Structure 1
Amino acid sequence: MSSERFNIVLVLTVMVIATLHMQVSDAQNTHTVGDSTGWTIPPHPNTYKSWAASQTFAVGDNLVFNFPTGMHTAAEVTKDAYDACNTEKPIAVWANGPATVPLKSSGPHYYLCTLPGHCSAGQKLAITI
């Protein structure tokens, strides 16, 4: 193989490896719900809606619900339960904070706090992956 051909192959190989590395790096992001606000009764009812609109979620990412254990929960629920703030039959509940929730499937996902009155006060999150 000529040195010019070898250099071209080497450059292409490096480019492919760099591209794969960027895809792997981008494949998993951690999203701290509410950023510095954390997971709490929000100061404004649209706090989590606005936060979610500023994010791009992908399968393989993680949500981190930052809350002190005993003060809140994070629960994944159905859309109907989310809309009604119904906490009776959650899909999953995380009671110890901070809670890391892996995003395993595409589509809409709904979360809320199961403590009385918290969801109706705006402590709920809807995202689309």
Structure 2
Amino acid sequence: MSIIQYGGWDTSSYLQTWASSLTFSVGDNLIFQYPPNHNGIEVSKADYDSCQPSNPIQSYNDDATTIPLTLAGKRYFIVGQ
């Protein structure tokens, strides 16, 4: 198994440009790091588009979350407070 690190996205990055240059595969891990007193939330596309976690799929509260990609398909994440 090899480890490939992509430059991280942050608030100064244009998300669409950053994401369009990347391809993730089953077996990869996403690592989210966020400030204290924030959390990572996996949401539906509708909640992602509205940036509102009205029905969260999963919430992560450990400031550095590793999410294994075990299935193909799109997943959506936002950061909450």
Tell me the TM-score normalised to structure 2 length. 0.79
Structure 1: state its 5+ residue gaps. 1-24, 116-129
- Runs (4+) off by over 6 Å: none
| Superposition deviation, residue 56 in structure 1 | 1.2
Which has the larger Rg? Answer: 1
1:92 corresponds to which letter in structure 2? Q
Name which structure has the greater RCO, CA cutoff 8 Å, separation 6+.
2
Give the structure-1-normalised TM-score: 0.54
Whole-angstrom distance in 1 between the partners of 2:68 and 2:5:
9
Greater share of residues in helix? 1
- What is the SS of the residue equivalent to 2:30? strand
Give 1 or 2: higher strand fraction: 2
Identity, in percent, stands at 32
Deviations 1:28-74 (A, max 9, x none): 6555641xx4xxxx125xx222221121100111111122331x321
Structure 1 residues 49-88: aligned runs within 5 Å: 49-70=16-37, 72-88=38-54
Which segments of 5 or more consecutive residues in structure 2 lack a partner in the other structure? none
